Structure 1
Amino acid sequence: MGSLDAKPAETQEPDINDQAQLWNIIYGFGGSLVLRCAVEIGIADIIKNNNGSITLAQLASKLSIPNVNSDHLYRILRFLVHMNILEHEICNGGVDKVYSLKPIGTLLLRDAERSMAPIILGLTHKDFMVPWHFMKEGLASEGTTAFEIGMGMPIWKFLEGHPDQSQLFNEEMAGETRLLTKTLFEDCRDIFQGLDSLVDVGGGNGTTIMAIYETFPHIKCTLYDLPHVIANSRDHPNVQKVSGDMFKCVPTAQAILLKLILHDWTDEECVHILKKCKEAIPKETGKVIIVDVVLDEESTHELTKTRLLLDIDMMVSTGGRERTLDDWDNLLKRAGFRSHNIRPIRAIQSLIEAFP
């Protein structure tokens, strides 16, 4: 038996690797904002349009910035190389470095099918970063988000009154959709093939529902969102647009799609939304299709950290959360669904089918 007077083992002192890890975390915002700068000035697009490679001088000459400071630009490029966004070769006898995009760098292209440029611009916008500075205050404010404390109003009211930020937010959501849609259709094609009608609830500018119609033209498709969102959404001759409030009612269809919606809301609000969706579908053949994160807190998957950060983002911005397998089971039972299936896909999110 051990002695009560035994001394605890010596605590190992943090070493330089521990310091390096903390420095990288502390300056994590810096990497995000360097990426933002790269997207804003179009570095990836300029390289692509210059036959895939470019020198510092050529890049400086093509920027829409007067009197470019070449030293500043070089230091940004150097960091992008360090982040594995760019690579470079030494040319002209060591005089010039020629920069090109690494595969990850193509995600910064504005016109790429899976461009992450709108996501970068949305998440790093100064208005959307302010609430993160009020995380501490949010801990002590029951029912009040850090966003509301920092910006003076809930995020949805803010977006309604700020058209430019609302457009940026919707472009970010559309960017996430484009990143997800191809994978969703490839991995879960069977889920959509048998449907005759579908309503995309909270569908934003219509990117998702229009992609669904183009892939499955037999489905009668409806975009449903708040009036100010619908007013700024894209038009499509075969997609009906309906404005309304999902907390009050949902248009009827064989299937309801909730893509990246429920993580914005509390459990009680989600149960309310799900019940409204359940009322809108036929009892025997209907279903609600949910695309959202299924969180595994102990997973070593490369996306686990991102999913956990998304959960913090929801806490700070909307008062919602990312949910575990047990959380989803509980939520859907409370909403009265008799069964559900959860299918992992090659994305941050999973697909959940809930049956009335």
Structure 2
Amino acid sequence: MEIMNGKDNLQSIEAQAHVWNTLYRFSDSLFLRSMVELGIPDLIYSHKKPISLGELASKLPIQDVNLDKLRRVLRHLSYMKIVRVVEDADNISIADHYKYTLEEPIGFYLLKSYEKSMVSNILGMLQKEFVIPWHYIKEGLNSSSTPFEKAMGMTFWEYLEGHLDDSKHFNEGMASETRLLTSSLVDGCRDIFQSISSLVDVGGGNGTTLKAISKAFPHIKCTLFDLPYVVANAHDDSSGIQILSGDMFNSIPSAQAILLKLILHDWGDEDSVKILKKCKEAVAREGGKVIVVDVALEDEGSHEDALSGSRLALDMDMLVTTGGKERTKEDWEKLVKLAGFKGCKIRHIGAIQSVIELIP
């Protein structure tokens, strides 16, 4: 090998660092889950002032905490920009020398009590059974089966229906994601919702989105529609929301507008066309709307947006778990025309997802 000059050597080190960081990125996710399970962000925040290593150790739900291990854990949380380390020069003991506070605003999203908490996302998505299929990506590339099916012997949806505890955690995670999205959806689409009189939320889970829409636009007659085992856990708060169960591949209740939030990305193009055709049958002929809330990816090679990495990660999640996909603007235009719509209008709402309004 030729002797590298200083610039080449620096580039080599940076390249190695990139590969190492990518290699260990999985550990950040699992590490984060463990810290959330222990309630470390909540314990730091509830202390109201920088908490020492010894004080934090005394509050953890485990016995005989090793302070050196805990210090290393918190050092990594600091690297992840979740906590901030404050050194107390007057104390030299390991228990009191290091003190910790939450980084703002990142740390807030890891608090169970925060209105936009992502704790349920973390616990739901990082269940062991949902991580195992990622080891089967290779096997899923040359098959119509998903990596999830290869790993678990059934589809993702069959698994959820047969494992109600895991399904509950998954739906809680979806509800958490919905809370993050809903305010942007309501604020960014007021003109759409103000123009409709009835709405069916297809695959609406426990009703988190519909409850927010109903509160913001009380003139809309709202209906929640999902599979029977899902709506069994729907919010029943006498809000006037009608709850119906069924299969969207068979029929969808009629309304002026249909909402498909985080639904079509779960399915490939063939199944998505079937769903959209059922939606077209269900909406009013005059003034009918189909409102899709899903990712709209940038064109190939254009990934400058701050959320591009998250959107591409979601696409890989769909590849592994459901066999679905995230779509570009061109993909959306082709898909809706295959389903019999004239086209679509995409608006960005300050979230990972966009709103795709279908033109009947």
Please give the range of the TM-score, normalised by the shorter of the 2 chains.
Answer: over 0.9
CA distance in 2, matches of 1:183, 1:105: 21
Offset at residue 269 of structure 1 (A): 0.4
Offset at residue 234 of structure 1 (A): 1.8
| Count of matched residue pairs | 344
State yes or no: 1:228 paired with 2:232.
no
1:63-102, aligned counterparts within 5 Å? 63-91=60-88, 93-95=90-92, 96-102=97-103
Offset at residue 30 of structure 1 (A): 0.9
Residue 3 of structure 2 corresponds to none
Offset at residue 128 of structure 1 (A): 0.4
CA distance in 2, matches of 1:50, 1:229: 38
Offset at residue 182 of structure 1 (A): 1.2
Residue 338 of structure 2 corresponds to 334
State yes or no: 1:138 paired with 2:135.
no
Offset at residue 320 of structure 1 (A): 0.6
Amino acid in the other structure paired with 1:322: E
Gaps of 5+ in 2: 1-7
Greater mean alpha carbon deviation, residues 174-183 or residues 58-67: 58-67
**What is the DSSP-based 3-state SS (H/G/I as helix, E as strand, rest coil) of the residue aligned with 2:237?**
coil
Residue 280 of structure 1 corresponds to 282
Offset at residue 265 of structure 1 (A): 0.3
**What is the DSSP-based 3-state SS (H/G/I as helix, E as strand, rest coil) of the residue aligned with 1:15?**
helix
Residue 299 of structure 1 corresponds to 303
Amino acid in the other structure paired with 2:236: D
Residue 206 of structure 2 corresponds to 205
Q: Name which of 42, 45, 57 aligns with 2:42.
A: 45
Contact 2:50 2:86 in 1 (8 A): no
**What is the DSSP-based 3-state SS (H/G/I as helix, E as strand, rest coil) of the residue aligned with 2:65?**
coil
**What is the DSSP-based 3-state SS (H/G/I as helix, E as strand, rest coil) of the residue aligned with 1:251?**
coil
Amino acid in the other structure paired with 1:99: Y
Residue identity over aligned pairs, in percent, reads: 55
Offset at residue 171 of structure 1 (A): 0.9
CA distance in 2, matches of 1:132, 1:68: 32
**What is the DSSP-based 3-state SS (H/G/I as helix, E as strand, rest coil) of the residue aligned with 1:333?**
helix
Change (3 A) 1:145 1:121: same
State the TM-score, normalized to the length of structure 2: 0.93
Residue 4 of structure 2 corresponds to none
CA distance in 1, matches of 2:237, 2:204: 14
**What is the DSSP-based 3-state SS (H/G/I as helix, E as strand, rest coil) of the residue aligned with 2:290?**
strand
Gaps of 5+ in 1: 1-11
CA distance in 2, matches of 1:170, 1:300: 31
Once the two structures are superposed, residues 262-292 of structure 1 have per-residue CA deviations (whole angstroms, 9 ceiling, x without a partner) of 0000101001000101111111111011000
Offset at residue 52 of structure 1 (A): 4.5
**What is the DSSP-based 3-state SS (H/G/I as helix, E as strand, rest coil) of the residue aligned with 1:340?**
strand
Greater mean alpha carbon deviation, residues 187-196 or residues 258-267: 187-196
**What is the DSSP-based 3-state SS (H/G/I as helix, E as strand, rest coil) of the residue aligned with 1:212?**
helix
Change (3 A) 1:52 1:325: farther
1:149-164, aligned counterparts within 5 Å? 149-164=150-165
Residue 217 of structure 2 corresponds to 216
Residue 195 of structure 1 corresponds to 196
Residue 358 of structure 2 corresponds to 354
Greater mean alpha carbon deviation, residues 92-101 or residues 76-85: 92-101
Contact 2:82 2:102 in 1 (8 A): yes
**What is the DSSP-based 3-state SS (H/G/I as helix, E as strand, rest coil) of the residue aligned with 1:336?**
coil
Aligned-pair RMSD on alpha carbons? Answer: 1.4
Offset at residue 81 of structure 1 (A): 0.6
Offset at residue 92 of structure 1 (A): 5.6
Contact 1:52 1:100 in 2 (8 A): yes
Change (3 A) 1:74 1:246: same
State the TM-score, normalized to the length of structure 1: 0.94
Q: Name which of 306, 327, 336 aligns with 1:323.
A: 327
